[in-house]
Amino acid sequence: YKIRAASTIKIPYTLVIGDKEIAADGMWNETTAISLRQFGSKDNFPLSLGAFLEKIIREIESKQITAFLTNAT
């Protein structure tokens, strides 16, 4: 339900982090596995939290998501 709701309000990225992605100690780090879904896609892409952070930082720095950030305020 939450993933569907995120897609209807056009959130650019939905991160899915469940029990199986979190280490036994409950801690997150850059190697934590996440599942990423981009707006407009029904596919989930597995990657590490660190890789996602690098991707989103590059997009912000290159201003590829400026319109989203401007509309969010």
Cβ atoms of residues 34 and 15 within 8 Å = yes
What is the predicted pLDDT for the residue at 71?
A: 56
pLDDT tens digits, one per residue of 9-21: 777 888 877 777 6
Residue 5 vs residue 45, higher pLDDT:
45
Alpha-carbon distance of 36 to 52, in angstroms, equals 8
Give the global pTM. Answer: 0.62
pLDDT tens digits, one per residue of 39-69: 877 788 888 888 988 988 888 888 765 555 5
Cβ atoms of residues 30 and 54 within 8 Å = no
The dihedrals phi and psi of 9, each to the nearest 5 degrees, come to -105, 15
